[in-house]
A and B are shown apart, each in its own frame.
Chain A
Amino acid sequence: MWSFSELTEWIDATLRSLMGDGWALFVEFVLIGVAVLVAYAVLALILIWVERKVCGFFQCRLGPNRVGKWGIFQSVADMIKILLKELIRINRSDKVLFRMASFFVIIGSICTFAAIPFAKGLQAIDFNVGVFYVLAVSSLGVVGILLAGWSSNSKYSMIGAMRSGAQLISYEISSGLSLMAIVVLSGSMQLSEIVAQQADTWFIFKGHIPAFIAFVIYLIAGHAETNRGPFDMPEAESELTSGYHTEYSGIQFGFFYLAEYLNMFIIAAVATTMFLGGWQPLHIAGWDGFNAVMDYIPSFVWFFGKTFFCVFLALWVRWTFPRLRIDQLLNLEWKVLMPICLVNLILMAIVVIL
């Protein structure tokens, strides 16, 4: 299977032959930063289009169909529109925090995004505490949401931010604990190591029942963390207009919007990496011919295929179930998911020992 590390090593060697080591490093930093940001923006455009199309089909209509064939350039047109919009100044809001909040949200999201192994040899950040890093950095978003709600000096935003804060903090517990089940199984927190261990069997098959329970709980908790679907209390439009980003306009609103879609992608990508084998192809022990054929499919196709499958699950849930009440939402986490997670962790430990 072709590895992206050949390409990156070639770029590294060329740059080092052209200039000094220090400058080569500097240019590489800039290149990686630009690449991550471009990938982030492009994926957001694709995801917004996919969401609108899928939502359209669930509601028996066509979705966007005017700009380009099947409306594929709809989100590009929307991007240009949102970039040209005016940034409205809110009367008696805390200006500094109001501007800063949207950056906190999007920086937390980008930092998480950079740690995902997209294909063989294509990973920007690979710490030996990878899983922990993903959980820690994504919690920056909560601060941004709370600040956004408070600083815009509006009751809708405030209530939305408080709900969102409570929801995110609660659901982080069960998403963290369900990832811990896989850490127990693999014995490592490094994302590249976790992917490498799934070369012959994906963890969702290798881990028997506990891995499957953890996968389902992670999808539910992750879905709740993105403030979407049946868990979108913070921005319930019928009661709060649109929650913590009510007062935002133009690209500042765009940041929240991008972060929401990319968080959905990140949850799906982490689920893929931890449970569905990341970029590893599907291998079945004993079927050598089948395995060889699967190896010919490039690694990034595997990764994006699985991730978009998880994204589709999220969209399906979002457009199918009615919204929960805020007390039902918190009860679900503290009284159902978290106890299941703790028992599941013990079960996983037993499976590993046996």
Chain B
Amino acid sequence: MGELANAIIFYCLAAAIVGMSILAVTSRRMLRAATYLLIVLICTAGLYLLLNYHFLAVVQLSVYAGGILILFIFAILLTSSHGDRAYSHDKGRVIAGIITALAGIAITTWITMKHHFLYGENPALMGDRQIDMKEIGQVLIGTGKYEYLLSFEALSILLLTCAIGAILIARKR
């Protein structure tokens, strides 16, 4: 892919992400905010696709669009009634929020500027290497150096505990 095409796609996705994140935060209706958040997450998957990291893009789609966001929407549908709107915040909270956001922007900008990116210095490289599914699988369940069997198993036990806890809370006596 050409350098220019990469840049155009990147800026379209970036503009969509920024616009939709602002909408997600400012929207007064819960379900609309959740939908804008979903679009942000889908656009992030688009960024991964641009880097040719298909696996992460698909995980992003299936975990967020297929899992977490549906959970959010179900929770909103079950708990709120149709006309619910968020109250507007008082002044102190708005100012505190703006300061926190500015600080966050400053820190991330500083880090991005300091860091030397492999692709940023050399945009033609972008998306030249596909990471094979087999490689990911073997690294995930391998026991050697830079392989992640232990953390994988620890995470699965954590999730199992969560599931058992949820059943314990939800079951009828």
For B134, the chain A residues whose CB sits under 8 A away are 188
Interface of B is mostly: helix
For B77, the chain A residues whose CB sits under 8 A away are 146, 150, 158, 162
Is A289 on the interface with B (CB-CB < 8 A)? no
Is A139 on the interface with B (CB-CB < 8 A)? yes
A-B contact count (CB 8 A): 80
Interface of A is mostly: helix
Contact yes or no, B55 A100, CB < 8 A: no
For B61, the chain A residues whose CB sits under 8 A away are 136-137, 139-140
- Give CA–CA (A178, B20) in the complex, Å: 36
For B2, the chain A residues whose CB sits under 8 A away are 21-22, 25
Is B35 on the interface with A (CB-CB < 8 A)? yes
Is A13 on the interface with B (CB-CB < 8 A)? no
Is B62 on the interface with A (CB-CB < 8 A)? yes
Contact yes or no, A22 B82, CB < 8 A: no
Contact yes or no, B133 A147, CB < 8 A: no
Contact yes or no, B32 A165, CB < 8 A: no
Which residue among B31, B35, B55, B74 has the maximum number of chain A CB atoms within 10 Å of its CB? B35
Quick one: closest B residue to A142, CB to CB?
B70
Is A110 on the interface with B (CB-CB < 8 A)? no
Contact yes or no, A135 B74, CB < 8 A: no
Is A35 on the interface with B (CB-CB < 8 A)? no
The 10 closest A-B pairs by CB, nearest first: A139-B66, A136-B62, A136-B61, A127-B54, A22-B2, A136-B58, A133-B58, A146-B73, A132-B58, A128-B133
B residues within 8 Å of A by Cβ? 1-2, 4-5, 29, 31-32, 35, 38, 42, 54-55, 58-59, 61-62, 65-66, 69-70, 73-74, 77, 82, 130, 132-134
A residues within 8 Å of B by Cβ? 21-22, 25-26, 92, 94, 96-97, 100, 127-129, 132-133, 135-137, 139-140, 142-143, 146-147, 150-151, 153, 158, 162, 165, 169, 172, 188-190
